[in-house]
Structure 1
């Protein structure tokens, strides 16, 4: 049995026991613990709805509610941490400057709404984007609105895929896995570029000091 078989079994158990609210609970936990893959849980909810285990509208409503609850929890964590703590933690990290955080804040201030909305549809970042929204104290109503809209689109795509694919619902995971790997590769590349730039800046600074 693979790990995803275990996750599918666990999610199936929740849905069999609780119905559509079980699907919502599974997705809320997926937001808090990203290793739980939504690309398994959501199509499985659609498959269950297709077999009559829950209503399709119920599946869509409860999974979206679960997404919002999970995102709200992460938003509150970000709000509790606050800017000062985040800056204090970040400045202890190698190669990170306070100016990096300030630039991130400026960028989020300009593009925060779009980031929250589209971020809900990007693997990996769909959970984590809620934390900087909380740190920056994005108005809660705005955060909830665009989190709900982004989550509803993402969830509907995958629930409907599972609903129409039926017994082949697990095919969704393979296609999403390709996209997830591309996102991971892009993140790794961005980190490498960032580290390279920082190391180059340090070397130039040392040469300037020697002069």
Structure 2
């Protein structure tokens, strides 16, 4: 994976960074935790400039968020509610739960998008509820760009400062990504258990 990223970045330059970050949003196994630190290391070698490298990473990431956003637009709330009523009984989710979740996102959507872009494992999927809740595209782009820029700057500077040890960024952030995803799954399981207990009582 690392060798492929290096070759693509060396061949396409800033365009390679943008392409890799675009693909990272569509295929999460391609880690931004490896792409942008490598870009930072390349900057430290004098082969790239810092600001254009960061800009390319942000551009590719935002571009990669659009497919998920529009998937959410197509997969609208009413369709999800119907699926919840039809199949949700297996995980005790109803159309009412979907409406409550969407109502929450409607109230806190901008914060969710901004902070979601800073959380490994959540960064990609946060675009889906934004589309489902018809968050205005301009608002979505603004808050996604703000959160993404902070994340990209952090990763790029880490790679710049670590130099040849840029891979350490992925080693440290990788477990955080897993913990974040497991926390979401664990929280969802707890919510289901508590809901079942309330229904029995």
TM-score exceeds 0.5? yes
Which residue of 148, 157, 162 corresponds with 1:160?
157
Which residue of 108, 122, 132 corresponds with 1:125?
122
Which residue of 54, 57, 72 corresponds with 2:66?
72
Which residue of 19, 28, 39 corresponds with 1:25?
19
Please name the residue that 1:145 is paired with.
142
Please name the residue that 2:78 is paired with.
84
Please name the residue that 2:45 is paired with.
51
Mean alpha-carbon deviation: is it higher for 27-36 or for 142-151? 27-36
- C-alpha distance in 1, partners of 2:135/2:192? 29
- C-alpha distance in 1, partners of 2:69/2:11? 29
Residue correspondence of structure 1 range 196-211 to structure 2 within 5 A: 196-204=193-201
Mean alpha-carbon deviation: is it higher for 21-30 or for 85-94? 85-94
Q: TM-score, normalised by structure 1?
A: 0.88
Report the CA distance between 1:173 and its aligned residue: 1.1
Report the CA distance between 1:122 and its aligned residue: 0.5
Please name the residue that 2:97 is paired with.
100
* Residues 16, 53 of structure 1: 8 Å contact kept: no
Cα RMSD after superposing both structures: 1.5
Report the CA distance between 1:155 and its aligned residue: 0.3
Once superposed, which parts of structure 1, at least 4 consecutive aligned residues long, lie more than 3 Å away?
Answer: 201-204
Q: How many residues align?
A: 198
- C-alpha distance in 2, partners of 1:58/1:90? 45
Q: TM-score, normalised by structure 2?
A: 0.92
Which 5+ residue runs of structure 1 have no aligned equivalent? 1-6, 205-211
Report the CA distance between 1:57 and its aligned residue: 1.3
- C-alpha distance in 1, partners of 2:82/2:60? 32
* Residues 81, 94 of structure 2: 8 Å contact kept: no
* Residues 121, 178 of structure 2: 8 Å contact kept: no
* Residues 19, 53 of structure 1: 8 Å contact kept: no
Please name the residue that 2:188 is paired with.
191
* Residues 23, 59 of structure 1: 8 Å contact kept: yes
